[in-house]
Amino acid sequence: MPTKDQTTIMNLDDVYEQLKKDDIEITTKFSYIHPKRTKGKTITLSLGRCWFNCLLPDNFPVLIDEPINKKRLSDIVNQIFDMNDASSAAAALTLLNKEAFKMSSIIPQTFDVDHCIVPEEIKQEKNITITKTTLPEEFPEKLNKLTHKLIDNHLQDSGIGNLLNSGEAKTNDYGILTLAKGPVMGIDGKISEPITSSLSDGYTGKEFYDAANDARRTFYIRAIGSSEPGTLARNVTYANSNTQIASDDCGTKKYLTVTINKSLITELFGRFMYDEKTGKLQEITPETNIIDKTIKLRSPLFCKDKNGICKICYGKLAEKLNSKQIGLLAGTVINKMGVETYAMKARHESIAVKFKKINFKEDLQ
């Protein structure tokens, strides 16, 4: 329970006022009160969690009292979007983005040379588990386990530890920096023996040229993987610039047959499917039990509306959009999928032995 003389945090101004004091840290405990999230009761939270809760819209129902990583933040953003109209959700997310940049300048997460110094016990385990004879397909798993052990045992509550645990920095990249690079593939498609040195250790002459060969391949993937999806996105935008939300329901009887798995279900919330038992359309929600089942999905592919795409074929997302010009949105999404997901992440998968010839257009299908 908070003490009687403890300051109570009620808004962002209270948080920043406390941060001006020399003896206050982001982990310092404070009282926090909110009419909905704490039901008007005063509870104790760290200053950082008080700050985060102050950023949330007043109608956000849940108190956030846990570490926030990338996935959890994405869930919170989606919840804000679902609870509010487009303009209110945009205002809330703009505030979150603005204040996050402000806080990062006040209390930055630092990374210094000490974080590249590997404890002797980790070095000894590395020399045993990671060698030149380690099979390429086994190397990523062994390096990942060793990297997590280094983070969990020696970097908790440090700047780099916080970045890695949040998901903003890649664990594999940190392993390459401090432990070992691993097997690499050149532009000719040949896989080298594992590079057992790290960037902080320094490479041998042979390891340097193997790594350089891998770098040339990565630059090639970036160049091809950025230009082709970028061109495709532009063409999609031009071709669909006049495509918009039109009627409420076009009445089409054609459906897209889809088998649902756990990774796909979240992408279909708000879409409509044909329920053969009732003979009616049903909205797909988190409560809809269709995992591992094959459904008939209403899709823009079969929309009969001559003036655009109807709201049923497009789904509930139409209600959240400020603009009816969904063709422009389609171009943006294609570009994001291609450039960010496909091309830019290739570097982070450089130690994974699952490479194939790059052909964005075929891979997208």
Give the Cα separation of 144 and 25 in Å (integer). 32
User: Is there a single domain that holds both residue 102 and residue 25?
Assistant: yes
The last residue of one of the domains, among 188, 219, 250, is 219
User: Is there a single domain that holds both residue 195 and residue 125?
Assistant: yes
> Which pLDDT score, from 0 to 100, does residue 26 have?
85
Q: Count of domains in the chain?
A: 2
User: Is there a single domain that holds both residue 170 and residue 131?
Assistant: yes
User: Is there a single domain that holds both residue 147 and residue 100?
Assistant: no
Assess if residue 272 is contained within a domain: no
Interhelix angle 12-19/47-55, rounded to 10 degrees, is: 150
Q: Take residue 233 and report the two structure tokens written for it.
A: 């996105």
Give the Cα separation of 199 and 288 in Å (integer). 49
For 283, phi then psi, to 5°, come to -75, 140
* Stretches in the chain below the pLDDT threshold 50: 1-5, 347-358, 360, 364-365
User: Is there a single domain that holds both residue 100 and residue 120?
Assistant: no
3-state SS class at 344: helix
Give the Cα separation of 47 and 19 in Å (integer). 9
Assess if residue 146 is contained within a domain: yes
User: Is there a single domain that holds both residue 118 and residue 209?
Assistant: yes
Strand order in the sheet with 42-46: 8-9, 29-33, 42-46
Assess if residue 242 is contained within a domain: no
With DSSP H G I counted as helix, E B as strand and the rest as coil, what are the percentages for the chain, rounded to 5? 50, 10, 40
Strand order in the sheet with 280-283: 256-259, 294-297, 272-275, 280-283
User: Is there a single domain that holds both residue 118 and residue 164?
Assistant: yes
The last residue of one of the domains, among 71, 106, 141, is 106
User: Is there a single domain that holds both residue 70 and residue 100?
Assistant: yes
pLDDT in tens, 271-324: 999 988 888 999 998 888 888 889 999 999 899 998 888 989 998 887 776 566
User: Is there a single domain that holds both residue 208 and residue 125?
Assistant: yes
Residue 27: partners with Cβ closer than 8 Å, 6 or more residues away: 46, 47, 48
> Which pLDDT score, from 0 to 100, does residue 113 have?
81
Query: Comparing C-alpha atoms, which of 8, 50, 47, 53 is closest to residue 27?
Result: 47
Q: What is the DSSP string of 102-136?
A: HHHHHS-----GGGG---HHHHHHHHHH--TTS-T
Assess if residue 240 is contained within a domain: no
Assess if residue 287 is contained within a domain: no
Assess if residue 139 is contained within a domain: yes
The domain spanning residue 133 has which CATH number? 1.10.132.30
Assess if residue 297 is contained within a domain: no
The last residue of one of the domains, among 159, 193, 219, is 219
> Whole domain around residue 102: which residue ranges?
8-106
User: Is there a single domain that holds both residue 84 and residue 99?
Assistant: yes
Query: Comparing C-alpha atoms, which of 154, 195, 148 is closest to residue 175?
Result: 148
In the numeric block, the tokens 């940049």 are attached to 101
Element (H, E) at 30: strand 29-33
Residue-level length of the chain: 365
Assess if residue 308 is contained within a domain: no
User: Would you tell me how many other CB atoms lie within 10 Å of the CB of residue 319?
Assistant: 12
User: Is there a single domain that holds both residue 148 and residue 99?
Assistant: no
User: Is there a single domain that holds both residue 86 and residue 154?
Assistant: no
